Structure 1
Amino acid sequence: MNELSQLCGYDCIKTFTRHFKKYFKQTPYQWMLDRKMEEISLLVENSELTITEIAKIYGFKSVSHLVSLYSKRYGIPPYKSRLIKSV
């Protein structure tokens, strides 16, 4: 986050976060998580990587955390998303 705030010309992370949220209506963390989940969705649907492998690639400490976030965002767990896509 520090690097991102500096790239945008902010010395203070709190100021960067406040301005980011004002313009994008979400925190930088939420924005990055959204981008990450979009990439994960593509991998789930279009790759043969296991959900465990995807969780490790994207830095999740547990597969259950990834499954929980994925299910909350897309309404179904990743394995079902993969099954639907393969039909």
Structure 2
Amino acid sequence: MYSPVVFDDINYASRPYVPLEAYGRSKTAIVLFAVEAGRRWAADGITANAVMPGGIRTPLQQHAFGDDVSGEARTVYDT
């Protein structure tokens, strides 16, 4: 709902790249993939699910947020 996939510009060729927005859209794409996979293979008894494991502290956030992360938040993720 908040991060729709823009199929006409999936690679951000004609609009500014916003890392957090791209991250959200990648999660939306995973859900859409699971929905379609489940639809296609339902007759074969195959199901597909997309799950959100919750927040996990890793250094990955530094790549998504860059300089936008507060010093306090950066400390949490750098540990």
- Would the TM-score normalized by the shorter structure come out above 0.5? no
TM-score computed with the length of structure 1 as normaliser:
0.33
**Highest relative contact order (Cα 8 Å, sep 6+), 1 or 2?**
2
User: Higher Cα Rg: structure 1 or 2?
Assistant: 2
